[in-house]
Amino acid sequence: MLKFINKVFQIFIDFLVFIITILILFSLYNLISIKVLNKPYTNLFGFSIFEIATGSMEPTLNVKDLVIVKITKNISLDDIITYEEDGNLITHRVIEIKEDTITTKGDANNSIDVKVPKTKIVGKIVYVIRKGGIIREVFITPKVIISITITLVLISLCFSYKEKKPDKPKNKKNINKPPKSKKNKNKEKKKNNELNNKSFQNIKDEILNQENSKE
């Protein structure tokens, strides 16, 4: 049972490390694209990711939510899209489409937006990560990254540690004396007989001595 728990925990740790690594790499790629290459947004395999900064789309989208945007100009009515306006990226819902322009509006706003040229469209939202901005901020902070990494490594080591069992003693070689040969057995038997005869003779002599002494 303990081995199973260790295995499950190890899989969880590996998955968590994988997710953290992806977030860090994407954040670094996003930073390089915008700050170094001066791109307005990141294009990673036809997708980009943005953080909601205002409450204009509440309750559909909230501040600190992350939205994954598919980069495309092919949009429909009621799509939530991201577009560029005066150097800013805005995420609102499409309420009208014309040949060369679109009109959008924030769900929480009373007024509609100005008409936006279709060339300014970045793409439409395909997925929302609730409060993902908070998670990203946590994981891209160097101190937090180092602390989490060290903690995960230590936990992983604790669960993967196995107490070494004492080595089993090797089978001792048979130190018993080899079986005696027939010849040796005969010699030993003869020797024992001689000792018995001597003992008997000694007893006999003692008896004779005692009798002589009585006389």
- CA dihedral for 86, 106, 117, 33, sign (positive or negative): positive
132 and 71 part of one domain: yes
Q: What is the pLDDT of residue 29?
A: 78
The DSSP-derived string for 48-98 is EEEE--SSTTTTTS-TT-EEEEEE-S---TT-EEEEEETTEEEEEEEEEE-
Counting the structural domains of the chain, the total is 2
The DSSP-derived string for 1-30 is -HHHHHHHHHHHHHHHHHHHHHHHHHHHHH
147 and 192 part of one domain: no
Last residue of a domain, one of 142, 157, 172: 157
Q: What is the pLDDT of residue 33?
A: 78
Burial class (CB in 10 A: 0-12, 13-18, 19+), 92: buried
The CATH number of whichever domain residue 75 belongs to comes to 2.10.109.10
Tell me the C-alpha distance between 147 and 133, whole Å. Answer: 20
In a domain, residue 168? The reply is: no
70 and 149 part of one domain: yes
In a domain, residue 124? The reply is: yes
118 and 184 part of one domain: no
108 and 7 part of one domain: yes
Residue numbers in the chain where pLDDT is lower than 50: none
153 and 191 part of one domain: no
The dihedrals phi and psi of 90, each to the nearest 5 degrees, come to -115, 140
- For the full predicted model, state whether its pTM sits above 0.85: no
118 and 37 part of one domain: yes
Q: What is the pLDDT of residue 86?
A: 85
Residue 3: closest CA among 112, 162, 144: 162
215 and 141 part of one domain: no
Q: What is the pLDDT of residue 209?
A: 66
Q: What is the pLDDT of residue 199?
A: 57
27 and 82 part of one domain: yes
55 and 143 part of one domain: yes
Domain of residue 194: give its range.
180-215
42 and 81 part of one domain: yes
* Cβ-contact 65, 131 below 8 angstroms: yes
In a domain, residue 115? The reply is: yes
Q: What are all long-range contacts of 58-63, with beta carbons under 8 Å and residues at least 24 apart?
A: 58/107, 58/108, 59/107, 59/108, 60/93, 60/107, 61/91, 61/107, 61/128, 62/130, 62/131, 63/133
Tell me the C-alpha distance between 42 and 31, whole Å. Answer: 9
What are the distances in angstroms from CA 199 to CA 98, 204, 207, 208, 212? 133, 9, 13, 14, 20
59 and 101 part of one domain: yes
